[in-house]
């Protein structure tokens, strides 16, 4: 094993500035085309076939298939058992501890001495991000702490970053929609992170990294996101600035995060930006290249192309007419996130033990997924796949529930609960502290309530029909 391989992403992040394609002109295009080739937007061309084949040839057939499946949201989720996790976590620790001495190992070793529990949580995230590959997870683990120290310093190395830790300019960038977590997941149940390319071009790379760090680390508190990954969309529609060093640094950023990047999409509407797309593709390694797609066209055309990859249209955070960001849902999410941070700070102050894992009373969710049953009102609450399956199961067992004694009704409700759990459905609720998974007890109460409610609806409908019939055909 190459003992210094874990340093490569961090070195790429620390690289110097690149050229800027500003107010793109023919002169800049001819200069860049000598290296990256002319764009062919109609064919949605990336790098040359030779270069692309060379990179993808580094992957095995299994790795390439996994990349394509993740891009389209049809990849299987790895099965975890407590025994497997313990074995993998121990092996990851052993590999990380075996790295040769280097100054950039110091943050990781310092973190172990300061807060072992926090390091263990990050280790689990890294393991899930790298498909339970212990060697890659160990490299990501050590790189993460070196990266975090570089952008936040020693004092914040082993604690969660809150909005209070973010500088004023970065707070403003986050609130203005530099990067947003969509309020709904894609069809595979993955969180979708959308970055505004126009804003990122006008913001320093360190500020962009800190802003994305804050949003992304909040997203991966959701265990489902840890296992299924994140879809990243860079919206460059209407953009006239492009930093050539940004693609490599952003790609390195995701290599340093304890999060799985399942797919990358880039949207643009200026034909000359095909050169920039080639730069993005060329800066990617084989792992990310097979998970990358660019989309050229108008705002609506790009959105329709994203929909073919399972990204929902109804939660897209940009106005179709002006492409200005729609920040209403984003601000609600930030408000809930801040409320949760304050609650955590109070709990820590009074000595309560905190954990990012879902407890028996529920856990944090980045956004409702397609299989989630949202408790409350709203269109998503009645149209998600999870709700439709819940409704069908209640209808299926309604007769058995109505004809059962009181104790047997609990058994029937438990059958529905177990079937929903087997299909991957969860009961979630929007609260002041964000979207939270509800406990098994709350789920059982909701199922029993649904049985009683549907019986009342049926009875009420029969009553109305009887009254209508008696009015229309009164007895003589």
Distance from chain centroid for Cα 327: 18
Residue 134: pLDDT over 90: yes
Relative to beta strand 434-437, strand 426-431 is: antiparallel
Task: Map residue 360 onto helix, strand or coil.
Answer: coil
What is the C-alpha separation between 153 and 389, in angstroms, rounded?
48
Q: pLDDT-derived band of residue 460, with 50, 70 and 90 as boundaries?
A: low
Q: What is the CB-side half-sphere exposure of residue 291 using CA atoms within 13 A?
A: 26
Residue 358: pLDDT over 70: no
Provide CB contacts within 8 A for 20, sequence distance 6+: 241, 242, 243, 244
pLDDT tens per residue, range 335-345: 888 888 887 76
* Residue 462 pLDDT: 52
pLDDT tens per residue, range 245-288: 665 566 667 788 899 999 999 888 887 777 777 877 777 888 88
pLDDT tens per residue, range 279-314: 777 778 888 889 999 999 988 999 999 999 999 888
| Higher local confidence (pLDDT), 224 or 360 | 224
**0.85 surpassed by pTM:** no
| Higher local confidence (pLDDT), 85 or 440 | 85
* Residue 405 pLDDT: 85
Residue 34: pLDDT over 60: no
CB environment 61-87: b (16+ within 10 A), e (fewer): eeebebbeebbbbebeeeeeeeeeeee
Q: Find the mean pLDDT for residues 149-158.
A: 89
Q: What is the mean pLDDT of the chain?
A: 77
* Residue 133 pLDDT: 93
Q: pLDDT-derived band of residue 47, with 50, 70 and 90 as boundaries?
A: low
| Higher local confidence (pLDDT), 446 or 44 | 446
Dihedral sign of CA atoms 196, 201, 202, 205 in order: positive
Residue 351: pLDDT over 70: no
> Cβ-count burial of 94 within 10 angstroms (0-12 exposed, 13-18 middle, 19+ buried)?
exposed
Residue 416: pLDDT over 80: yes
């Amino acid at each position: 094993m190459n003992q210094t391989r874990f340093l490569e992403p961090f070195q790429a992040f620390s690289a110097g500035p690149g050229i800027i394609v500003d107010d793109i002109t023919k002169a800049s295009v001819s200069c860049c085309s000598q290296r990256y080739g002319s764009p062919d937007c109609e064919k949605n061309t990336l790098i040359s076939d030779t270069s692309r084949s060379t990179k993808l040839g580094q992957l095995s057939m299994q790795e390439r298939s996994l990349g394509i499946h993740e891009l389209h949201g049809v990849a299987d989720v790895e099965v975890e058992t407590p025994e497997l996790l313990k074995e993998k976590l121990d092996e990851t620790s052993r590999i990380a501890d075996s790295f040769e001495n280097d100054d950039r190992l110091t943050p990781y070793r310092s973190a172990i001495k300061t807060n072992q529990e926090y390091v263990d949580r990050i280790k689990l995230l890294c393991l899930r991000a790298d498909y339970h590959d212990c060697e890659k997870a160990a490299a990501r683990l050590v790189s993460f702490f070196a990266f975090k120290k570089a952008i936040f310093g020693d004092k914040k190395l082993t604690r969660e970053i809150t909005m209070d830790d973010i500088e004023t300019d970065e707070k403003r960038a986050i609130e203005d929609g530099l990067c947003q977590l969509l309020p709904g997941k894609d069809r595979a149940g993955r969180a979708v992170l959308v970055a505004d390319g126009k804003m990122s071009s006008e913001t320093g790379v360190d500020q962009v990294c800190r802003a994305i760090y804050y949003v992304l680390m909040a997203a991966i508190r959701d265990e489902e996101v840890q296992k299924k990954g994140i879809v990243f969309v860079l919206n460059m529609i209407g953009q006239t600035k492009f930093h050539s060093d940004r693609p490599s640094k952003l790609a390195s950023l995701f290599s340093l995060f304890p999060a799985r990047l399942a797919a990358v999409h880039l949207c643009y509407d200026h034909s000359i930006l095909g050169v920039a797309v080639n730069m993005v593709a060329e800066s990617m390694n084989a792992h990310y290249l097979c998970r990358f797609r660019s989309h050229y066209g108008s705002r609506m055309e790009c959105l329709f192309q994203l929909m073919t990859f399972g990204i929902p249209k109804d939660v897209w955070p940009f106005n179709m007419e002006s492409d200005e960001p729609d920040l209403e849902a984003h601000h609600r999410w930030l408000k809930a996130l801040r409320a949760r941070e304050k609650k955590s700070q109070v709990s820590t102050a009074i000595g309560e033990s905190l954990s990012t894992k879902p407890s028996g009373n529920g856990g944090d969710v980045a956004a409702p997924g397609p299989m989630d049953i949202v408790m409350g009102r709203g269109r998503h609450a009645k149209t998600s796949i999870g709700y439709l399956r819940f409704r069908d199961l209640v209808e299926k067992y309604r007769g058995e529930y109505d004809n059962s004694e009181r104790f047997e009704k609990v058994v029937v409700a438990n059958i529905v609960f177990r079937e929903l759990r087997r299909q991957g459905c969860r009961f979630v609720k929007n609260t002041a502290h964000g979207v939270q998974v509800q406990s098994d007890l709350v789920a059982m109460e909701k199922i029993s309530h649904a049985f009683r409610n549907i019986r009342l609806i049926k009875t009420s409908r029969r009553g109305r029909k009887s009254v209508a019939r008696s009015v229309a055909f009164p007895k003589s």
